[in-house]
């Protein structure tokens, strides 16, 4: 007998085996697995009562609160598709995603409702706006709201919804911050999510007693699978509305956190928090990090001061999102701290469940395992997306001859460990978020005084990388860095705004006019 691979089955298992175990801690709130299960089914039935059903797209814009976790299960149980939205985007970016994704409903925290005021009228398919009022939500007056989340749940039953789930049907559409001015919608299936979470379970050694702190945004590739993996073994989800170093250190101690995921910048923020002088961890914390290689000094300090076991993982939204991790071998323990940090900065080896990952030359041949020959990381198997939503041409560019081409250039060391040497797509990864240099350049080019612009990543102590803009001003025009900064902040999410501006008389280009960004990076 074959049953579909869906992470929904893990909640069934957890509810059956651990009904009284605490599933979620959210500030003063505590929910057992039975209570969590009941709330998700109430959400499913409430959405169905509103006329939503199989294959309908439901957008969700929530911080890491218990309602966000409920949405992953409640929407999927309906056979509908969840569209998680980055809470740091501006109104124009959100409107594009809602329109492109064909979202029929939107569930959003009260904090973001002011961005939604005109969207119900301007977004073609959007019919229903549901507001979430969390105990940590700001006390503001919301507009354009049709329903309040908790009131909907009060009117619904917790009776399981009977529906056939196909493991190859879409569970979520996750929008990238990719390399073009418009994000692409990555279709991730039930099978994709299941297999990625299985890798997280195995490689992060997740067990029933674990306490997981949701530092990594759940909207970011479904929390790298954390929304499913910790439920599978009946571990406890601990919610965190925003990244607050003081609160994180308190939760590490008070809730005895054992696992967390996040960008290297989060680790660095914790190390430099004033509260570190009083930090006395009760338990070791297994911490998975990705986005940019964690600096050696940060790795050393985190292990000494935060009692962290750092695991560097690698992937993209298009692969659910993890395909490799820096597998630790006991033989590495005899190396110097510097050598250990160098190894931990590598993207490592393919994970057990995702399929095959390798580095290839333009002709498709695998690179030599010598740490020198450079190729592109490609992968195939269980976690590769079903495709880009409504973009078959882009899908065909990314998936060729059965392989997904990541666009990341890397070498392979003699032990088989992959290490990225450059980003072919010029993505800037700041605080774990992807920033398209092309998108920022487009905004700068719109300024009446800008003749040419080039945007690249520069190192940043706190965020890992931030954008820097090189500007050529039009003859006869004048503009200051402050003016350009204000221009960008009005048109971009603030984390995408360049942190430095350099005025130049020329930009390095090839004979065909292509901007040589490697020369700008120096």
State whether residue 41 is helix, strand or coil.
Answer: helix
Give, in words, the CATH class of 8-188: alpha beta
pLDDT at residue 240 tops 50:
yes
Tokens describing residue 335: 């190396």
pLDDT at 178: 47
pLDDT at 293: 61
pLDDT at 207: 98
Q: How confident is the model at residue 522 (pLDDT cuts 50, 70, 90)?
A: confident
Residue 114 DSSP one-character state = G
Q: How confident is the model at residue 461 (pLDDT cuts 50, 70, 90)?
A: confident
How far is Cα 413 from Cα 411, in angstroms, rounded to an integer? 7
Q: Residues 217-244, buried b or exposed e (16+ Cβ, 10 A)? A: bbbbbbbbbbbbbbbbbbbbbbbbbebe
Mind listing the pLDDT tens digit for each residue in 307-350?
Answer: 999 999 999 999 999 999 999 999 998 998 778 877 888 899 99
Q: Which residues contact 479 (CB under 8 A, 6 or more apart)?
A: 447, 449, 450, 471, 473
pLDDT at 442: 79
Query: What's the whole-number average pLDDT of the chain?
Result: 92
Mind listing the pLDDT tens digit for each residue in 376-405?
Answer: 999 999 999 999 999 999 999 999 999 999
E strand or H helix that includes residue 39: helix 33-49
Residue 321: count other Cβ atoms within 10 Å of its Cβ.
Answer: 25
Q: What's the mean pLDDT in 427-455?
A: 86
pLDDT at 180: 46
CA torsion angle for 505, 430, 73, 185 (degrees, to 10)?
A: 20
Mind listing the pLDDT tens digit for each residue in 255-291?
Answer: 999 999 998 878 888 988 899 988 988 889 999 998 6
pLDDT at 420: 83
pLDDT at 345: 80
Give the start-to-end residue ranges of the domains of the chain: 8-188, 429-521
Three-state secondary structure readout of 219-278? CCHHHHHHHHHHHHCCCEEECECCCCHHHHHHHHHHCCCCEEEECHHHHHHHHCCHHHHH
Give, in words, the CATH class of 429-521: alpha beta
Please count the residues of the chain.
Answer: 522
How far is Cα 345 from Cα 368, in angstroms, rounded to an integer? 20
Q: Residues 149-158, buried b or exposed e (16+ Cβ, 10 A)? A: beebbeebeb
How far is Cα 445 from Cα 507, in angstroms, rounded to an integer? 14
Residue 20: count other Cβ atoms within 10 Å of its Cβ.
Answer: 9
């Amino acid at each position: 007998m074959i049953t579909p691979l869906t992470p929904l089955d893990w909640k069934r298992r957890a509810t059956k085996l651990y009904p009284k175990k605490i599933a979620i801690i959210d500030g003063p709130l505590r929910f057992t697995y039975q209570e969590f299960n009941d709330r998700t089914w109430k959400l499913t039935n409430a959405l169905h009562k509103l006329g939503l059903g199989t294959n309908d797209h439901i957008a969700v814009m929530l911080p890491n609160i218990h309602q966000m976790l409920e949405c992953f299960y409640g929407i999927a149980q309906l056979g509908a598709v969840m569209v998680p939205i980055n809470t740091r985007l501006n109104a124009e970016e959100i409107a594009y995603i809602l329109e492109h994704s064909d979202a029929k409903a939107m569930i959003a925290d009260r904090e973001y409702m002011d961005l939604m005021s005109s969207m119900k009228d301007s977004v073609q398919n959007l019919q229903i706006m549901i507001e979430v009022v969390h105990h940590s939500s700001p006390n503001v007056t919301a507009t354009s709201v049709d329903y309040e989340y908790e009131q909907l749940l009060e009117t619904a039953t917790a009776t399981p919804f009977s529906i056939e789930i196909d493991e190859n049907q879409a569970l979520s559409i996750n929008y990238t911050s990719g390399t073009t001015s418009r994000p692409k919608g990555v279709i991730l299936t039930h099978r994709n999510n299941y297999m990625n979470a299985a890798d997280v379970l195995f490689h992060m050694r997740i067990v029933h007693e674990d306490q997981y702190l949701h530092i990594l945004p759940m909207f970011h590739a479904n929390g790298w699978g954390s929304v499913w993996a910790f439920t599978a073994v009946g571990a406890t989800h601990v919610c965190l509305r925003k990244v607050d170093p003081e609160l994180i250190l308190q939760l590490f101690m008070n809730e005895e956190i054992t696992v967390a995921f996040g960008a290297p910048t989060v680790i660095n923020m914790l190390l430099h928090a004033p509260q570190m002088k009083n930090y006395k961890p009760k338990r070791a914390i297994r911490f998975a990090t990705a986005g940019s290689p964690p600096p050696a000094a940060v790795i050393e300090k985190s292990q000494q001061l935060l009692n962290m076991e750092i695991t560097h993982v690698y992937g993209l939204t298009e692969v659910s999102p993890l395909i490799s991790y820096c597998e630790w071998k006991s033989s590495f323990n005899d190396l110097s701290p510097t050598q250990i940090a160098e190894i931990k900065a590598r993207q490592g080896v393919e994970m057990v469940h995702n399929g095959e990952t390798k580095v290839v030359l333009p002709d498709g041949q695998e690179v030599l395992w010598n740490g020198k020959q450079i190729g592109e990381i490609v992968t195939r198997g269980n976690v590769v997306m079903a495709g880009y939503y409504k973009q078959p041409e882009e899908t065909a560019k990314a998936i060729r001859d059965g392989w997904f081409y990541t666009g990341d250039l890397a070498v392979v060391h003699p032990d088989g460990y992959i290490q990225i040497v450059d980003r072919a797509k010029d993505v800037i990864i700041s605080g774990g978020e992807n920033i398209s240099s092309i998108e920022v350049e487009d905004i700068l080019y719109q300024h009446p005084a800008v003749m040419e612009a080039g945007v690249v990543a520069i190192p940043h102590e706190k965020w890992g990388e931030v954008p820097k803009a090189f500007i050529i001003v039009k003859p006869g025009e004048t503009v200051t860095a402050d003016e350009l900064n204000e221009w960008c902040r009005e048109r971009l999410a603030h984390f995408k705004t360049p942190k430095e501006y350099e005025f130049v008389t020329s930009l390095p280009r090839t004979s065909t006019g292509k901007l040589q960004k490697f020369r700008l990076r120096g």
